Structure 1
Amino acid sequence: MNRDYSSISPSAKALLLTKSLTTIPFIADAARLILGNDVVDQLAGDQHDDLFLKRLLHFESRYLSLDSLLFASGSLNVLEISSGFSFRGLNMALNHPNVFYLDTDLAEVIQIKRDLTEQLIRQEQLHLKGKLQTKILNAMDESAFNEVVNQMPAGKLSIINEGLLMYLNPEEKASLCQTIHRALKQRGGYWITADIYIKKDLGQAAKSDAFGQFLDAHHVEDNKFESFEQAEAFFKTHGFKLVTKATSVWHQLSSVKYVSRELMNSLVKQAGTIGKIRETWALRAI
């Protein structure tokens, strides 16, 4: 592909490159297409600091935890919002003949992602069993949201997202809740979100690099929930019932191989001290 990928934000590039060290489907292949083999190979051979490795574990865990609840839902109609450079839809359509997967994000992401998806299909000679569509969608635009929902086949939905709520203030979260609630009341199904973050003091180290500064600039810490109890109350106020939480996916993490015993012990100790900072929930409209 002769495409200029400069429009991909530094944070998106950094996250894609970081996750290229995992076995998440198609991530490493996409990173090589965008950033080149040398960059990906160098990262795999580098020594990494603790902050990088913590994020690596975090983002792989977030991806897998969402997968676990999505598969448990048994839904064949999946709408992923704010999907970024995740290729969950491509992987599902490759392996599940009855799935209809609608992969959505803002235009600057989707225009590149369409090219990447087509390139991956050609490069790997993939034959999709299910249906995959990649569409532009601002999830905060209720009219556009309803339009794409109405294009999906009859049946219950799973509306999913990994990282979106952390960029929305309370009013924006409430607006998104109303949009998703109306869709699920009409169609049935679940909202599965890996984006239940709560405020924790993780120290200044988490803000010291470019990615940390990006999160700080977007007021991510301010946008998190005060507690898991407050998060559950918030969703209840907007018509949702918490159905289930994802259990630990630690045993599935491919990135554990990069983590030293010393860091692992430190993470266990930290978890015991500050507790969880994020959970993945399946919500039902009531």
Structure 2
Amino acid sequence: MNRDHSSISPSAKSLLLAKSLTDIPFVADAVKLIYGNNALEHLSNRDFDEVFLKRLVHFESRYLSLDSLLFASGSLNILEISSGYSFRGLDLVLRHPTIYYLDTDLQGIIDIKKDLVERLMVEEKLNLKGKLRTEALNVLNEDAFLNAINQIPLGPISIINEGLLVYLNTEEKISLCKTIHKSLKQRGGYWITADVYVKRPALKNENNDHFSQFLEAHHVEDNKFESFEQAENFFLEQGFKLITKATSVWHQLSSLKYIDNELLKKMKEQANKIGRIRETWVLKAI
């Protein structure tokens, strides 16, 4: 349980750059702050290959699917774990005065993120209605996790994450589940995870770029579930019941503007052939 996860953090910055091409709130603004005002123009003028575009659609879908279930939960107390350079919390507390949002990740990301949030608030003249806290948290440290939970006002909580489980081996997943289960049994609420991935055959042209090398180095494919049935059984063994799954957010995707009809047809054919590789679930501690 003492494994150093700091090497995972560079993936968050890569995702930030990619997602700046979408309508996900504040991502493009953050990219300007990090890389300069010309960064988005330079990025948007590039010729994107098929693999990049598929990933862009994938990660925007993941973000929106989590949003849809979080909205449906009606939760006022939210803990986001392994949030990366997502600004979901900032977006929510701008619009909802009753939201308490604790945004967490490893220390290296949080140090940068705190600065970005402060600069965004100044430059965009943002006036927060709800409460946003941005703090470092190693989710495999049970004491630190429970201390974070205790900071949140009384009442049910939603613990949410986009990408995390694929970086954890089975032992680490079990440890995290134990801590989340204890938290939800104490407080009530749900675990909403967009990180239910299943193994799938490798596709052409996906094995030589930097992102693929990163995934291989962190054994991401090995850490995925064998099937959705196996994933459901795993969570049940850890004391969680599957309540619902997110439905398609295809109609909401801003990234589709980069996809021509030929590639769109190819993506749909591959999806029909391979099947789903990821789902977003609401889990309840039983």
Do Structure 1 and Structure 2 share a fold, with TM-score over 0.5? Answer: yes
Cα 1:53–1:278, aligned 2, differ >3 Å: closer, same or farther?
A: same
| Equivalence for 2:48 | 48
CA shift digits 1:247-286 (9 cap, x unpaired): 0000000010000101000011001100000000000000
Q: Which amino acid aligns with 1:188?
A: G
Partner of 1:149: 149
- Aligned-CA RMSD value: 1.2
2:110 is the alignment partner of 1:110: yes
Query: What letter is aligned with 1:276?
Result: R
Map residues 156-167 of structure 1 onto 2, 5 A cutoff. Answer: 156-167=156-167
Structure 2 counterparts to residues 60-209 of structure 1, below 5 A: 60-209=60-209
Q: Given that residues 192 and 283 in structure 2 are in contact (C-alpha distance below 8 angstroms), is that contact kept between their aligned partners in structure 1?
A: yes
Structure 1, unpaired ranges of 5+: 1-6
Determine helix, strand or coil for the equivalent of 1:37: coil
Indicate the percent of aligned positions where both proteins have the same amino acid: 66
Residue type matched to 1:194 in 2?
A: A
After TM superposition, give the deviation of residue 9 of structure 1 in Å. Answer: 5.2
Q: Alpha-carbon deviation of 1:13?
A: 2.4
Q: State the match for 1:211 in structure 2.
A: 211
Question: What's the counterpart of residue 4 of structure 1?
Answer: none
- Measured against aligned partners, the alpha-carbon deviations of 1:143-175 in whole angstroms (never above 9, x if no partner) come to 000001011100000000000000000110000
Q: Distance in 1 between matches of 2:77 and 2:13?
A: 29
Instruction: Give, in whole Å, the separation in 2 of the partners of 1:210 and 1:58.
Output: 17
Aligned length: 280
Q: TM-score, normalised by structure 2?
A: 0.96
Partner of 1:3: none
* TM-score, reference length from structure 1: 0.96
User: 1:39-69 CA distances to partner (integer Å, 9 max, x unpaired)?
Assistant: 2211112221000000000000000000000
Deviations 1:108-134 (A, max 9, x none): 000010000000000100001100000
Q: Which residue of 1 aligns with 2:15?
A: 15
Q: Contact 1:8 / 1:109 at 8 angstroms: preserved in 2?
A: no
Deviations 1:63-116 (A, max 9, x none): 000000000000000000000000000000000110000000010000010000
* Structure 1 residue identity aligned to 2:282: A
Q: CA distance change for structure 1 residues 8 and 267 in 2, over 3 Å: closer, same or farther?
A: closer
Contact 1:62 1:194 in 2 (8 A): yes
Alpha-carbon contact 1:158-1:191 (below 8 Å) kept: yes
Structure 2 CA distance for aligned equivalents of residues 46 and 114 of structure 1: 30
Displacement after TM superposition at 1:207 (Å): 2.0
Provide runs of 4+ in structure 1 moved above 3 Å: 7-10
C-alpha contact (below 8 Å) 2:9/2:109 kept by paired residues: no
For the 8 Å contact 1:162–1:193, the answer to whether it is kept is yes
Specify the SS of the correspondent of 2:148.
helix
Q: Distance in 2 between matches of 1:285 and 1:67?
A: 21
Conserved? CA contact 1:105–1:136, under 8 Å = yes
Q: What whole-Å deviation, never above 9, does each CA across 1:185-227 have from its counterpart, x for those lacking one?
A: 0100000000000000132522210011001100000000000
Distance change >3 Å, CA 183–CA 30, structure 1 → 2:
same
- Structure 2 residue 62 is the aligned partner of structure 1 residue 57: no
Tell me the distance in 2 between the aligned counterparts of 1:91 and 1:49: 31
Unaligned 5+ segments in structure 2 are 1-6
Query: Does the aligned pair in 2 maintain the 1:8–1:108 contact within 8 Å?
Result: no
The answer for the alignment partner of 2:275 in structure 1 is: 275
- Mapped partners of 2:9, 2:150: distance in 1: 31
